């Protein structure tokens, strides 16, 4: 998967891109975004597309929960966190839901994963659960509690990381009673 400007940097002109599309070798995935037609489709293709369109963004909340297998939710939008002062991307596909973070909240807990040949930045599972409690009014408390239960079941020895990210997000008072109830 590549953006048209990336193709131009390596010497592929716009005319050549159109010819490759006409021959069926590449297909247009979104505005200025192309992929090989022969490349296999994956479940997480939309994350790769979003990462290509918003290279400074970090996959968060419902999309990150889905990526880590911590929820039954299947979001139709890609949830991404970007810097408060960053430019707002204008893309039509995949649909994005943007959160504006800054400082430590945006930089801590970021992992890089390879999805369809694209490096996708995703918040870690512990950071994602802490973020769910921080943004519980946007996604719902039931989703946050479900994520906490699944995280506790899958990663019982990583509760200290969850607590550290709860301190980063300043939600320790909020998450403490749920941890005690689930515990």
pLDDT tens sequence across 64-107: 999 999 988 888 899 999 999 988 888 877 889 999 999 999 99
pLDDT tens-digit series, residues 55-64? 899 999 999 9
Residue 139, pLDDT above cutoff 90: yes
In this structure, the answer to whether residues 25 and 77 fall within a common structural domain is: no
Rg (CA), the chain: 18
Neighbouring C-beta atoms of residue 145, cutoff 10 Å:
17
In this structure, the answer to whether residues 63 and 27 fall within a common structural domain is: no
What the block records as the tokens of 161 is 């990381």
- The residues near 101 (Cβ < 8 Å, ≥ 6 apart) are 81, 82, 83, 84
What the block records as the tokens of 10 is 């390596």
Domain that holds residue 19: 1-39
In this structure, the answer to whether residues 171 and 99 fall within a common structural domain is: yes
Q: Which helix (H) or strand (E) holds 61?
A: helix 61-68
Identify the pLDDT of residue 62. 95
Mean pLDDT computed over every residue of the chain: 90
In this structure, the answer to whether residues 76 and 157 fall within a common structural domain is: yes
Structural domains of the chain, count: 2
Q: pTM of this prediction?
A: 0.80
| Maximum distance among all Cα pairs of the chain, rounded to whole angstroms | 61
Identify the pLDDT of residue 27. 84
**DSSP 8-state assignment for residue 89:** P
In this structure, the answer to whether residues 10 and 93 fall within a common structural domain is: no
In this structure, the answer to whether residues 79 and 167 fall within a common structural domain is: yes
């Amino acid at each position: 998967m590549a953006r048209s400007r990336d193709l131009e940097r390596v010497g592929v002109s716009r005319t050549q891109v159109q010819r490759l599309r006409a021959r069926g070798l590449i297909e247009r995935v979104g505005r200025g975004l192309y992929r090989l037609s022969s490349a296999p489709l994956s479940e997480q293709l939309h994350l790769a597309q979003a990462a290509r369109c918003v290279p400074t963004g970090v996959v968060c909340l419902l999309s990150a929960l889905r990526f880590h297998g911590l929820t039954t939710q299947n979001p139709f939008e890609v949830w991404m966190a970007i810097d408060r002062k960053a430019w707002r991307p204008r893309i039509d596909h995949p649909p994005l839901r943007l959160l504006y973070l800054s400082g430590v909240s945006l930089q801590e807990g970021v992992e890089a994963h390879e999805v369809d040949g694209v490096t996708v930045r995703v918040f870690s599972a512990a950071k994602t659960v802490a973020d769910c409690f921080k943004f519980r009014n946007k996604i719902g408390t039931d989703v946050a509690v479900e994520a906490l239960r699944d995280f506790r079941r899958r990663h019982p020895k990583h509760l200290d990381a969850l607590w550290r990210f709860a301190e980063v997000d300043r939600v320790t008072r909020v998450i403490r009673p749920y941890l005690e109830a689930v515990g």
